[in-house]
Amino acid sequence: MPDVDLKYAFGLKPEKAIEYFESKGFRITWDWHEMLEDAHARAFTVAKVMRTDILQDIHGELRKAMDEGLTFADWKKNLTPRLKAKGWWGEVVNEATGEVANVGPHRLRTIFETNIQTSYMVGHYQRMMESTESRPWWMYVAVMDKLTRPAHSALNGLAFRFDDPFWNSHFPPNGFRCRCSVRALDESGLEEKVKAGEAAKRSTSGSGADANLGEVEKPLTRDGSRMYQATTVKTKDLNGRPVAMAPDAGWSYNPGKAGAGRIAVDKLADWTAPLGAMTFRDLGPLAAREVKSGYATWIAEVRKSKVTRHSFTTLGAMAPEEIQFLESKGVMPSTAAIIIEDRLVVGKKAERHKKSGDALSDAEWDSLPNAVLTPQAVLYDNDDGKLLYVMPSLDDPRKVKVVVEPDVWEKKVKMQTNAVRSVFKVGKEALLDKRKYSQVRGKIE
């Protein structure tokens, strides 16, 4: 099988792919199917590896291969002696079950191509997401040779909009050693390909849907003792022939989108406000999960320290509605990121709110990202230009109010950002003053 020319396909030195790959934690598995779907986007695993040190060796060499653009031959030459020295070569035995697997060049090639391809597609997904306004059509591209699975070849040339649900389950790779990719096209570019018979528009949603997605139960093991739910697309290929294609077991997800959640949080401060807001909304629960995970770790450390250390974390991101509203007021934030400082949890201001009886409970502090990620309402203070993110209290009829100052220089982190200035509970009536507050989105109930 020829080497996948990933550098040609996706460009040299894809930093986003490397960042994503580096962000993965380690997970020990014997059977690759023990980790299905987007778990693979969050953890680095290699089937039949039962020792973390071997995983670290493989991970480190893959990271080096991406960073330096090494070929499979170079990577294998560097890694093989280390694997042999540690006994992960030839017949490998699972001590818990006695199962035997063979490790050699073929398995190394699968490891190399699967991890490199998946990571590069994360970077490719992010670059395409940055140009959806000018190139809203994404065309499935298969390598049309005898090595490609017929089901993958059947999707070649089919173009779905970037926000079509099709891409949630069928964004490549769609199996081990899958070489498929995606190409972003503008309207005129797609029309040219359609006229030439090289592409066809498809949609799985709306009144003009000519493709549909459904869940099909398929065997996970050869003996059929274990099954899995596969997302199948049914449509017609470029020649009008019926197509029913489901990714292989464990691949019915979008690795670019799943891995992008973590990247989006890490890079939110670097993106323009409109791009950050749009990306966060598109990633939805994937970005929210990363925010909540980071916040949970942060607030646990803040409570443990019990003193202000001037530490910050990301609480969420402004939505496109807030960006547009602020722009109408003559303010364009440098970023969509909203950050919060530990002094609001354990500092003097927090103590004052406790004494006045309007402080948050521990459970409300734990759920605070929801105020930004899924607010009941967002208000604009007409007096001082701050935004108020509102969510219901978990303990009483009052509302939790998160006051955010837009586009302010935060000297402690040396950046222009949107900073939380106060967090406390208020009665509903205090937020209904239409002279003081303008409604940005949502409704106080």
Q: Do 415 and 393 touch, CB atoms closer than 8 A? A: no
CA atoms within 13 A on the CB side of 160: 28
Question: Could you tell me which of 88, 100, 8 has the C-alpha nearest to residue 49?
Answer: 88
State the CB neighbour count (10 A cutoff) for residue 286: 21
Residue 426 tokens read as 């208020």
Q: Do 256 and 174 touch, CB atoms closer than 8 A? A: no
Instruction: State the angle between helix axes of 52-68 and 105-129 in degrees (0 to 180), rounded to the nearest 10.
Output: 60
Tell me which DSSP letter residue 13 carries.
S
- Amino acid identity, position 158: L
Is the link from the previous residue into 165 a cis peptide, with omega within 30 of 0? no
- Sheet containing 181-185: give its strands across: 181-185, 137-141, 158-161, 200-201
State the CB neighbour count (10 A cutoff) for residue 365: 18
In the chain, domain spans: 6-256, 271-442
CA 368 – CA 314 distance, rounded (Å): 11
Q: Do 42 and 21 touch, CB atoms closer than 8 A? A: no
Q: Do 340 and 313 touch, CB atoms closer than 8 A? A: yes
- Amino acid identity, position 102: N
What pLDDT, in 10s, does the model give residues 225-263? Answer: 767 677 899 999 999 999 999 987 767 666 666 555 665
Tell me which DSSP letter residue 228 carries.
E
Question: Could you tell me which of 335, 426, 411, 334 has the C-alpha nearest to residue 381?
Answer: 426
What pLDDT, in 10s, does the model give residues 107-157? Answer: 777 666 666 666 677 777 877 887 888 999 999 999 999 989 999 999 999
What per-residue confidence (pLDDT) applies to 34?
43
**How would you write the pLDDT of the chain (445 residues) with one tens digit per residue?**
333 333 333 333 455 555 555 555 444 343 444 444 444 444 444 444 445 556 667 767 777 776 677 777 887 787 788 877 777 665 555 555 555 566 666 677 766 666 666 667 777 787 788 788 899 999 999 999 998 999 999 999 999 999 898 998 898 888 877 888 899 999 999 999 999 999 999 999 877 789 999 888 777 666 777 676 778 999 999 999 999 999 877 676 666 665 556 656 766 777 788 878 887 887 777 788 888 988 998 999 999 888 888 889 999 999 999 999 999 999 999 999 999 999 999 988 889 999 999 999 999 999 999 999 999 999 999 999 999 999 999 999 999 999 999 999 988 888 899 999 999 999 999 999 999 999 999 999 8
Instruction: State the angle between helix axes of 52-68 and 72-85 in degrees (0 to 180), rounded to the nearest 10.
Output: 160
CA 416 – CA 248 distance, rounded (Å): 45
pTM value is 0.52
Q: Do 203 and 209 touch, CB atoms closer than 8 A? A: yes
Residue 109 tokens read as 């090639």
Residue 314 tokens read as 């990301």
Q: Do 225 and 12 touch, CB atoms closer than 8 A? A: no
The partner residues of 402 in beta bridges, in order of sequence, read: 389, 423
CA 158 – CA 189 distance, rounded (Å): 14
